[in-house]
Chain A
């Protein structure tokens, strides 16, 4: 979708971007990451020619961007900046419709779309369409900023540290909203950031820059697991393995189809199942398979009776759609070595252990 071919930018004696070659596939979020002055923003701005490249070619959907009129090019690329840049003299509605208006879209059509887009970021159009930017909070303004970039439905979005100026709590919320939006819209996004956590969270791929050069371009998991050089390792942080916990879903690290018992099973059955699997406890499920409690081997061995009479509460459960960071946090909170994994309806799906998590994370290193 976007291809950079040996793109360089020289400002006087300084080479800001040095022969960068990279490709962003359609529908991916590519995060350009690096310390300030590394060339990431310059690289992004060369895509919509806000900064003309000194040499090299940039292709958009196979077309050489040098051959496209720069105004036409920019109108076909959504653009979001850190300072938001909503025009204070226009209402939220008119701000969103800037590009559709420049493209002379039908007014009723663009206004309707503005209302739909606002709803997608949880802002009530009835309240917000006619407001002016100054009447909005920072977070609301940036939501409008993102939506404005989407108004003319461009296939490509450029985002220059879009959530950098928003307080940490709101930033998380807006990042999540944007990811949901992105899942639905599948835009090709180039996203500049200096925050490794944001990059890991948002990026399908991360491009790490240093002194104008592209050092590593890989998936978040690989960047964290196998930093290309000491600079990248240092930049992603010594806790990089912990950061990978975010990237793995509980469902990927859990043991599926675990043994289970029902309340009318005998303790003998429970003991036999535990011994068979080498477990020291077993989850009891309800009639339809919801995780209800746990029976311990110590309690059950050598005793007669039914499971239902010897049940203890579950030490903790985690949703299979959560990431391992949440799972590990829950383990630490409850001081346990394993968690029962359930789906949205509470059905028992499997279990995840500390060893299992270590094993999953270690796979990337063993594979190398």
Chain B
């Protein structure tokens, strides 16, 4: 009950922290899509390259987020950005690579070879093949990778408050240090809710991007 009252009293602050949170995750995942999808497509050309890239991406995934933030501090201090928004975004870009690259790669590799053969035989260039056939067919799976990345990013973004990046994690960290259950719950609820809403929004995006011919 007290938590509800706290939430009601702090709505503008919660809104502001949500926007901060979204700006970190949104920017990070957008950049991750712009890098991960081309990498995922590129590595379909070479199995050894694919194995190596996916291995590295998986290793990055296993680095605890706190440790990664810590690692980024000395590096980014060189440009005076050791803490705050930038390291948070960079860390999330790195974490998002695995789900996006992996899903792009798997989706393209799983396309029926007969379709590729038909496309080649009809005289499509590799680029036309990607644009007209492979990417449209892979899109639903790629969007699922993005969903993974976004949910993951929202969760890890909550920890970025420890390097001064703000966001909804602020409520959680304050809740812990001040042993204030209201703030802790507010932060936790807001993060979960944001993750759920974002996921449903992306399901809608996936629907929009999927050709009706694939839904049947």
Question: In the complex the two chains form, what is the Cα distance from A134 to B119 in whole Å?
Answer: 18
Given contacts A85-B114, A85-B117, contact A73 B216 (CB under 8 A): no
Q: Tell which of B129-137, B155-163, B195-203 binds the partner.
A: B129-137
Most interface-central of A76, A83, A88, A134 (chain B CB within 10 A) = A88
**Which B residues are CB-close (under 8 A) to A71?**
123-125
Q: Is the CB of B214 within 8 A of A102?
A: no
In the complex, B128 has a CB within 8 A of chain A: yes
In the complex, B112 has a CB within 8 A of chain A: yes
In the complex, A99 has a CB within 8 A of chain B: yes
For the complex formed, measure the closest distance between the CB of A339 and the CB atoms of chain B, giving whole angstroms: 46
**Which B residues are CB-close (under 8 A) to A74?**
120-123
Question: In the complex the two chains form, what is the Cα distance from A8 to B120 in whole Å?
Answer: 22
**Which B residues are CB-close (under 8 A) to A87?**
115, 118-119, 132-133, 137
**Which B residues are CB-close (under 8 A) to A75?**
122-123
Q: Is the CB of B213 within 8 A of A132?
A: yes
Q: Is the CB of B123 within 8 A of A72?
A: yes
**Could you say which of B114, B117, B125, B136 contacts A89, with CB atoms under 8 Å apart?**
B136
Chain A residues proximal to chain B, CB less than 8 Å: 48, 50, 71-76, 79, 81, 83-91, 98-99, 102, 132-135, 148-149, 158
**Which A residues are CB-close (under 8 A) to B119?**
85, 87
Q: Is the CB of B123 within 8 A of A132?
A: no
Q: Is the CB of A81 within 8 A of B121?
A: yes
Smallest Cβ-Cβ distance to A149: which chain B residue: B122
Q: Is the interface of B mostly helix, strand, loop or mixed?
A: helix
For the complex formed, measure the closest distance between the CB of B115 and the CB atoms of chain A, giving whole angstroms: 5
Smallest Cβ-Cβ distance to B118: which chain A residue: A85
Chain B residues proximal to chain A, CB less than 8 Å: 112, 114-115, 117-125, 128, 132-133, 136-137, 211-214, 216
**Could you say which of A88, A102, A134, A148 contacts B123, with CB atoms under 8 Å apart?**
A102
Known: A48-B121, A133-B213. 17 other contacts (CB 8 A): A50-B121, A74-B121, A81-B114, A81-B121, A83-B114, A83-B118, A85-B119, A86-B118, A87-B132, A89-B136, A89-B213, A90-B132, A90-B211, A98-B124, A102-B128, A132-B216, A158-B121
Question: In the complex the two chains form, what is the Cα distance from A85 to B211 in whole Å?
Answer: 17
For the complex formed, measure the closest distance between the CB of A75 and the CB atoms of chain B, giving whole angstroms: 4
Q: Is the CB of B122 within 8 A of A98?
A: yes
Most interface-central of A73, A79, A85, A91 (chain B CB within 10 A) = A85
Q: Is the CB of B216 within 8 A of A135?
A: yes
**Which A residues are CB-close (under 8 A) to B137?**
87-89
Q: Is the CB of A81 within 8 A of B122?
A: no
Q: Is the CB of B213 within 8 A of A79?
A: no
**Which A residues are CB-close (under 8 A) to B118?**
79, 81, 83-87
Q: Is the CB of A91 within 8 A of B123?
A: no
Q: Is the CB of B214 within 8 A of A88?
A: yes
**Which B residues are CB-close (under 8 A) to A50?**
117, 120-121
Smallest Cβ-Cβ distance to B216: which chain A residue: A134
**Which B residues are CB-close (under 8 A) to A148?**
122
Q: Is the CB of B122 within 8 A of A102?
A: yes
Q: Is the CB of B122 within 8 A of A99?
A: yes
Question: In the complex the two chains form, what is the Cα distance from A158 to B124 in whole Å?
Answer: 16
